[in-house]
Amino acid sequence: MTSPPALLIAADGALDDAGAEALLDFVEHLGSRHPGIPVAAGLVGDGRWPLATAVGELVSAGADRLAAVPLALAPDRRAEEALAAALDAVRGDRPGLAVTVSGAFGPGPALLALLERRLDEVLGGGARSPRDRAGVTVLLVGPGSADPQANAEVHRAARLLWEGRGYAGVETAFVSTAAPDVPAGLDRCERLGARRIVVLPYALFHGGPAERARLHAEGWAAAHPDTEVRCAEVIGPVDELVDLVVDRYREAVASPVPARAGRP
């Protein structure tokens, strides 16, 4: 019986130590729920926990095929090229290794439900109806990218999060590179009449962008005491994220797309 391809989880090297520990816990949790899938994870563009080490672990355990799943909420040329370069280097050292790669998650129903859960938690669990949420404006904060498509995906997620959920509005901001930044995004919310704002990081794990978004929001709130500002948690290593990763893995196995150096 042929063993299944191994699952290689590729995370952004911007994760801080706490985020890296959360990723380790996530990989362990995924392995316990799906013991038939060999799994390991590595950071792209970070020497603390390189992707090559994760590949080495899987190959040492007998894997000759890998399906790489990037932990990415939106397609991003820079991130795709960095992952492709890392995978090219791995295949250069192991020419017989077959590697395919899946796409980014995108704001599908499961991911939107997770974001909604984080909003409910920070609002105390009671703001579930449109009437309860009518006074709440959400600022969805992405990391920011030089790739317009990645930034556009954050706007798309904001629109889908707003549809039918009863919030006064869902605006967008970015931690770096793209505009508006978090203070400017909060200024816009205030100009639109918001007096109760939730800053929601569009991020899977704790790390540089999510922490910077929180610090920027806290600084703005200190200067605007008449406006209530709360900061929601990142999505985190939850069961639903395990399901999303495994779904992407199965798609990559069923319809393999060879890893290559970036989009044309």
pLDDT of amino acid 52: 87
If asked whether residues 116 and 20 sit together in one domain, one would say no
C-alpha pair distances (Å), 173 with each of 13, 111, 160, 186, 229? 22, 19, 16, 8, 15
pLDDT of residue 126: 56
Look up the domain containing 199 and give its range: 109-231
**pLDDT by residue (tens digit) across 145-188?**
999 999 999 999 999 999 989 999 999 999 999 999 999 999 99
Q: Looking at the structure, do residues 177 and 211 belong to the same domain, yes or no?
A: yes
Question: Does residue 263 belong to any structural domain of this protein?
Answer: no
Residue 1 lies in a domain: no
What amino acid occupies position 220? W
DSSP state, residue 195:
S
Share of the chain above pLDDT 90, in %: 61
CATH code for position 165: 3.40.50.1400
pLDDT of residue 69: 95
> pTM to 2 decimals?
0.89
Q: Is the pLDDT of residue 107 over 50?
A: yes
Among 237, 222, 174, CA closest to 25 = 237
Q: How many domains does the chain have?
A: 2
Contact between 245 and 23 under an 8 Å Cβ cutoff? The reply is no
Tens digits of per-residue pLDDT, 113-133?
Answer: 999 999 999 998 655 666 778
What digits encode the pLDDT tens for the residues 50-103?
A: 888 899 999 999 999 999 999 989 888 888 888 888 888 888 888 888 889 998
Q: Is the pLDDT of residue 21 over 60?
A: yes
Q: Are residues 97 and 131 in the same domain?
A: no
